Amino acid sequence: MRNPAGERTSKAWLIGGFAFLYLPIVTLIILSFNASPLVTTWAGFSFKWYGELMRDTVIIEGFLLSLKIALLTATASVLLGTFAAVALTKFPRFTGRTVFSGMVNSPLVMPEVIIGLSLLLTLVSLQRLTEDLFGTGWPDRGTLTIWIGHTLLGMAYATVVITSRLREMNPQLEEAALDLGAKPWQVFFLVTLPLISQALASAWLLSFTLSLDDVVLSAFLSGPGSTTLPIAIFSRARLGLNPTVNAVATLTVLVVSIGVVAASLWMARLERKRAREMAAAMKT
Amino acid sequence: MSAHSNVQWLDAFVARLGRKFVIGVPMLFLLAVFALPFLVVFKISVSESDGVRFVDLLTWSEGVLQLKVRFSNYLYILFEDSLYIEAYLSSIKYAALTTAICLLIGYPFAYFLARSPAEVRPGLLMLVMLPFWTSFLLRVYAWKMLLADNGVFNNIALALGLIDAPIKMMHTPFSLTLGMVYTYLPFMVLPLYANLVKMDLRLLEAARDLGATPWQAFWRITVPLSKGGIVAGALLVFIPCVGEFVIPELLGGPQTLMIGRVLWDEFFANNDWPMAASVAVVMVLLIIVPLALFNKYQAEQSAGGRA
């Protein structure tokens, strides 16, 4: 049935596709060990750019700020995303449902310059309003405003991930709990939440990495003194090639790859464990 | 008996309150940070900017409520400076080109991925996802190193004697398109994969039994059935590409006019906020149809009706 020519094409296409996806990443990593300050001219192996990085306060402070915002963003996104996903899957009818789902989904594709600009202009208007009313403008551009912007984006992704998990969940499990006398909130905390915990973890990780990576929203919403890591990297990358950027990139790729692979292995193990327990419970 | 009905009444009350809370919290958040900002942008786009403050649209003057609306920014965009129209058209051109190339590369990729042996599929899928999780900014920056005049490609080709002088690849339409295809390819592959992997392969067997060649079966069965994935993937690539800023800024050049960059410059370089707002409003109008299509598709997905 299978023809060898087709199989060769299939393999070649997949290998070609993956080569395309990974070529830039591999290049980044190799060149981060280049001793030459001319990024693309190889002059021997060296760790010197990693050493530079340790002394680079802009990068280090940017990283710490980004980390803080990413932690806040991921947590808020999962909370709001869970609410939105439950609303969309469990309540087929409510006032404003279409508008609601439109507002949840649009940030997934909406160009970031539009979201960034509109949020910023709103914040500035609010600032002026509070200044007129109370004498001091609120909020200042900084961690809080970046957090709000990132959460809008992260929430959209979190909702998609959690909704698709809620969709494929067996509704009989919740119905059974209701029949046995559990209250809706008990069903949610004791049955639904444990069943979707993996989706919550993926949504958290996804919004975390989105926030850690975002340039455009941060650029609009940051104030003086709140330079996140991507803003610092972006301003260097704009000027040209920069060896410290390669070192940052390599560390990022390393940490993210280890994190994502470890998280998926862990989730796969949990999944198997749960399947075993379910099977055991069905038997008795 | 009455105690019991009291408890029931309380439960119903809690359930209703819970429902209101679950819907209300994200709804209020979205209204405040997504819907309201659009109104503000529109308002500012038609506002007079006197120095650093915008004059309010509604003003009291001599006891009369006056509405001052200024459409001059829109007139300027549409008729006076051709830069804007050219930037809009060129953004749509590059977004469409990127979408087409992503589909050409991504469809076979997703297809072969979905038909690969089940035991290697999770691993391969992870390989598609992994670049998606690692910094997009850094991956775009990496292309700069590959494509620069003294970059990796040129250095290798020069060393091998394939070329005598470096080929200019950076800051051209080529580097911009390549960067956008590279960045958005996973957004095309993932929905296509999700669609193709669910397909009932017995349909193809039936087609073969009825005498269709594999090629005919592919075009008449696989492609029409994967229409949902194609539409989703194309919208996920096209819409953000229209307003893309980071990729044109890092990989584009003087020939590659993109509206995202125009907006950015109006705001950050010229400090003309009403103009930036007007550019944004016109951009929203351009993507409103694909955006509505995307929302419809997502709503169908979350309603779980059609798969």
In this prediction, residue A243 carries a pLDDT of 86
Distance of residue A283 Cα from the nearest chain B Cα, in angstroms: 28
In this prediction, residue A163 carries a pLDDT of 92
B17 phi, psi to nearest 5 deg: -65, -40
Q: For residue B56, is it within any domain? A: no
- The residue of chain B with its CA nearest to that of A82 is B22
Nearest to B290 by CA among B244, B233, B226, B246: B233
- CB nearest to A185's CB, from B18, B126, B129: B18
DSSP character string of A40-106: TS---B--HHHHHHHH-HHHHHHHHHHHHHHHHHHHHHHHHHHHHHHHHHH-S--TTHHHHHHHHHH
Q: Is B147 exposed, middle or buried (0-12, 13-18, 19+ CB in 10 A)?
A: buried
**Which pair of tokens denotes residue A127?**
């600032």
- Rounded CA-CA distance A257/B128 in Å is 12
In this prediction, residue B229 carries a pLDDT of 92
Over the stretch B271-296, which tens digit does the pLDDT of each residue have?
888 889 999 999 999 899 999 999 88
Where residue B300 falls among pLDDT bands split at 50, 70, 90? confident
- Rounded CA-CA distance B108/A170 in Å is 33
Residues of A in contact with B25 (CB under 8 A): 80, 83
Q: Which among A89, A99, A110, A113 is the top mutation candidate for probing chain B, defined by the most B β-carbons within 10 Å of its own β-carbon?
A: A113
**Do residues B169 and B175 lie in contact, with contact meaning Cβ atoms separated by under 8 Å?**
yes
Q: For residue B112, is it within any domain? A: yes
- Rounded CA-CA distance B227/B305 in Å is 16
Pairing of strands B58-61, B53-54: unpaired
Q: Is the pLDDT of residue B10 over 70?
A: yes
- Rounded CA-CA distance A131/B127 in Å is 51
Q: Is A273 exposed, middle or buried (0-12, 13-18, 19+ CB in 10 A)?
A: exposed
Over the stretch A177-214, which tens digit does the pLDDT of each residue have?
888 988 888 888 888 898 898 899 989 989 998 999 89
Over the stretch B42-96, which tens digit does the pLDDT of each residue have?
988 888 665 455 656 666 666 666 666 777 888 888 878 888 999 999 999 999 9
- Rounded CA-CA distance B22/A8 in Å is 51
- The residue of chain A with its CA nearest to that of B152 is A40
DSSP character string of B201-265: THHHHHHHHTT--HHHHIIIIIHHHTHHHHHHHHHHHHHHHHT--HHHHHH--TT---HHHHHHI
In this prediction, residue B1 carries a pLDDT of 47
pLDDT more than 70, % of chain A: 99
Return the number of CB contacts < 8 Å for A and B: 258
- Rounded CA-CA distance A229/A112 in Å is 18
Over the stretch A51-91, which tens digit does the pLDDT of each residue have?
888 888 899 999 999 999 999 999 999 999 999 999 998 88
Q: Which among B46, B128, B298, B306 is the top mutation candidate for probing chain A, defined by the most A β-carbons within 10 Å of its own β-carbon?
A: B298
- The residue of chain B with its CA nearest to that of A96 is B27
Distance of residue A266 Cα from the nearest chain B Cα, in angstroms: 14
**Which of A172-176, A197-201, A216-220, B150-154 has the largest mean confidence?**
A216-220
Average pLDDT over residues A143-164: 94
In this prediction, residue A37 carries a pLDDT of 79
Q: Among all chains, which residue has been given the structure tokens 């080529």?
A: B174
Q: Do A10 and B124 make contact, defined as CB atoms within 8 angstroms?
A: no
Q: Is the pLDDT of residue B212 over 60?
A: yes
The count of domains in chain B is 1
Residues of B in contact with A27 (CB under 8 A): 142, 145-146, 152
- The residue of chain B with its CA nearest to that of A22 is B131
- Rounded CA-CA distance A243/A247 in Å is 7
Q: For residue B142, is it within any domain? A: yes
Q: Return the biggest CA–CA distance within chain A.
A: 78
In this prediction, residue A2 carries a pLDDT of 56
Q: Is A62 exposed, middle or buried (0-12, 13-18, 19+ CB in 10 A)?
A: buried
- The residue of chain A with its CA nearest to that of B237 is A109
In this prediction, residue A262 carries a pLDDT of 86
Reported as type and span, the H/E element at residue A188 is none
In this prediction, residue B54 carries a pLDDT of 61
Distance of residue A284 Cα from the nearest chain B Cα, in angstroms: 31
**Domain boundaries of chain A, sorted by first residue:** 55-244
Q: For residue B270, is it within any domain? A: yes
Distance of residue B183 Cα from the nearest chain A Cα, in angstroms: 9
CATH architecture of the region A55-244: Orthogonal Bundle (1.10)
Reported as type and span, the H/E element at residue B66 is strand B64-67
Domain of residue B120 covers 81-303
Q: For residue B223, is it within any domain? A: yes
Crossing angle between the packed helical segments A97-109 and B227-242, to the nearest 10 degrees = 70
Pairing of strands B64-67, B53-54: unpaired
Q: Any idea what the CATH number is for the domain that residue B96 is in?
A: 1.10.3720.10
- The residue of chain A with its CA nearest to that of B304 is A167
Average pLDDT over residues B33-50: 85
Residues of B in contact with A128 (CB under 8 A): 53
Q: Do B152 and A27 make contact, defined as CB atoms within 8 angstroms?
A: yes
- Rounded CA-CA distance A22/A260 in Å is 16
Reported as type and span, the H/E element at residue B305 is none
Q: Which among A83, A109, A242, A260 is the top mutation candidate for probing chain B, defined by the most B β-carbons within 10 Å of its own β-carbon?
A: A109
- CB nearest to B277's CB, from A22, A117, A220: A117
In this prediction, residue A14 carries a pLDDT of 92
Reported as type and span, the H/E element at residue A136 is none
Distance of residue A5 Cα from the nearest chain B Cα, in angstroms: 13
3-state secondary structure of B54: strand
- CB nearest to A233's CB, from B38, B137, B214: B137
Q: Among all chains, which residue has been given the structure tokens 């709103």?
A: A122
In this prediction, residue B112 carries a pLDDT of 92
